[in-house]
Amino acid sequence: MGGLFTADVENRGLVLDPRTKLLVMITLVIFALGGTGSDILLVRCVTVAVSVLPIILLITAGQRKKALLFGLIYGGIKLLEIFVVSKATGAALTVIGLCCMVFVRLMPGLIMGAYMLSSTTVSEFIAAMHRMHVPQQITIPMSVMFRFFPTVLEEFSAINTAMKMRGISLGGKHSGKLIEYRLVPLMVCSVNIGSELSAAALTRGLGVKVRRTNICKIGFHLPDGAVLLLAAAPYVLWILGMIGVVK
């Protein structure tokens, strides 16, 4: 899990502005996951293009194997959705529908999220948020949170193993203590890691009143333009579709 969430700056390939990535993420959530405007054919087509975008970004970051795997899954399930769902009924429909939900709608967003985390450093994120005039009170907790997820998951799986060994699991001897004996240790170590984190952040001047400067160079370049154009397309087509210009 650590590799998924830690920024790997040397191998990230195409450098996009964090704000561009955020827009792609929001577009994916609105159109791919939320299914907005799915009654308009052109919006549906563009949504597929935006959904494939995270996979292309993965290729530029040099993760070809992963990209190929996700690409094949997405393509396969999407075809299944187009050709089979309209004919299936009953239990088969439920199963296929769940697959479509997970792989066609959820997966692009998840890949984009993972790509976003693995290609953006905390400094860049804070710099970008600062440019968007998001207050510090939101950006600092958010950046801590995103960097903290891998820690929580890592600790959780270690605690899980330890508790299983002691028979504190579903079907084990002490299954009644299932939740207490997982959450409590998790919170204790999270609190400890947290105080280390705040000490580290204080040495970087997070607590001071003066305006912090940032050496990260962020800004929109040519690749950003292309990606932004694609990400903006579904919104434009959706509005055009609502007015009735396109079908």
Partner 1 sequence: MKGKDLINIGIFSAIYFVIVFIVAMLGFIPIFLPLLAVLVPILGGIPFMLFLTRVNKFGMIWIMSVIMGLLMLLTGMSWPPLAVSVVSGLLAELVYKSGNYKSSFKAVLTSGVFSLWIAANYLPLFFAADKYWSTRQNFGQDYIDTVTKLMPKWMCPVMFVAAFVCGIIGGLLGKFLLKKHFEKAGIA
Q: Kindly state whether residue 189 participates in binding partner 1, applying the rule CB under 8 A.
A: no
Q: Kindly state whether residue 177 participates in binding partner 1, applying the rule CB under 8 A.
A: no
d(C-alpha 154, C-alpha 132), whole Å: 32
Contact 242, 54 (CB under 8 A): no
Retrieve residue 53's tokens.
């975008």
Nearest to 115 by CA among 237, 7, 240, 224: 7
Binder among 96, 178, 230, 236 for partner 1 (CB under 8 A): 96
Q: Kindly state whether residue 142 participates in binding partner 1, applying the rule CB under 8 A.
A: yes
Nearest distance from residue 31's CB to partner 1, in Å? 10
- Contacts with partner 1 by CB under 8 A: the residue count is 52
Nearest distance from residue 207's CB to partner 1, in Å? 4
Q: Kindly state whether residue 162 participates in binding partner 1, applying the rule CB under 8 A.
A: no
Q: Kindly state whether residue 122 participates in binding partner 1, applying the rule CB under 8 A.
A: no
CA geometry: angle 26, 6, 226, nearest 5 deg? 40
Neighbours of 106 (CB within 10 A): 14
CA 43 centroid distance within chain: 22
Q: Which is nearer to partner 1, 59 or 189 (CB)?
A: 189
For the purposes of burial, counting CB atoms within 10 Å of the CB of 32, is it exposed (0-12), middle (13-18) or buried (19 or more)?
buried
Nearest to 100 by CA among 87, 84, 118: 84
Binder among 4, 8, 9, 38 for partner 1 (CB under 8 A): 38
In the block, residue with structure tokens 């948020």: 129
In the block, residue with structure tokens 């170590």: 189
Q: Which stretch binds partner 1 (CB under 8 A): 32-40, 67-75, 215-223, 224-232?
A: 32-40
Q: Kindly state whether residue 93 participates in binding partner 1, applying the rule CB under 8 A.
A: yes
Nearest distance from residue 170's CB to partner 1, in Å? 14
Q: Which is nearer to partner 1, 101 or 230 (CB)?
A: 101
Binder among 41, 45, 184, 242 for partner 1 (CB under 8 A): 184
Contact 49, 230 (CB under 8 A): yes
Q: Which residues bind partner 1 (CB under 8 A)?
A: 25-26, 29, 33-36, 38-39, 81, 85, 90-91, 93-94, 96-98, 100-101, 109, 136-138, 140-145, 148-149, 152-153, 156, 179-180, 183-184, 186-188, 190-191, 193-194, 197-198, 201-202, 206-207
